[in-house]
């Protein structure tokens, strides 16, 4: 492999999308990327989410790290009180291995 091809491959890997998902709780729905409704029943949830305590470990869609500052977050999420108005239904789990998503998380606006 030539140096140019190796450098191109390295650049491609470095520029690829990261799967880390840090979340900011947006208080205004119009400014949020998507809205979620929190349910207690995991079977009815589109995503079962695990709250990560360290941002580096939030490397998959159902592993969320909550940010205090919006500028540092990957997505802004509004937590809906009425399920019918939410884009996504989530449930929280205490075990990271049980975190999963049936539905894809909406893209950033």
For residue range 4-63, list pLDDT tens digits in order.
Answer: 544 444 333 333 345 568 999 999 999 999 999 999 999 999 999 999 999 999 988 899
Instruction: Count CB atoms within 10 A of the CB of residue 58.
Output: 24
**Considering the domain boundaries, does residue 80 fall inside one?**
yes
Instruction: Count CB atoms within 10 A of the CB of residue 77.
Output: 23
Q: How many domains does the chain have?
A: 1
**Considering the domain boundaries, does residue 108 fall inside one?**
no
**Considering the domain boundaries, does residue 52 fall inside one?**
yes
Query: The domain containing residue 55 runs over which residues?
Result: 18-101
- For 59, phi then psi, to 5°, come to -105, 5
**Considering the domain boundaries, does residue 37 fall inside one?**
yes
**Considering the domain boundaries, does residue 94 fall inside one?**
yes
**Considering the domain boundaries, does residue 8 fall inside one?**
no
Decide: 6 and 50 in contact? Cβ < 8 Å: no
**Cα separations (Å) of 21 from 27, 56, 71, 74, 80?**
19, 10, 13, 6, 19
**Considering the domain boundaries, does residue 106 fall inside one?**
no
**Considering the domain boundaries, does residue 1 fall inside one?**
no
pLDDT top residue among 13 and 89: 89
């Amino acid at each position: 492999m030539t140096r140019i091809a190796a450098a191109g491959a390295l650049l491609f890997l470095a520029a690829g999308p990261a799967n880390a998902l840090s979340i900011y709780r947006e208080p205004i729905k119009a400014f949020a990327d998507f809205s979620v409704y929190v349910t207690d029943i995991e079977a009815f949830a589109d995503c079962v989410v695990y709250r990560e305590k360290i941002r580096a470990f939030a490397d998959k869609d159902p592993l969320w790290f909550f940010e205090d500052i919006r500028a540092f977050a990957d997505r802004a999420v509004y937590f809906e009180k009425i399920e019918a108005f939410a884009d996504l239904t989530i449930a929280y789990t205490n075990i990271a291995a049980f975190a999963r998503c049936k539905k894809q998380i909406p893209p950033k606006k």
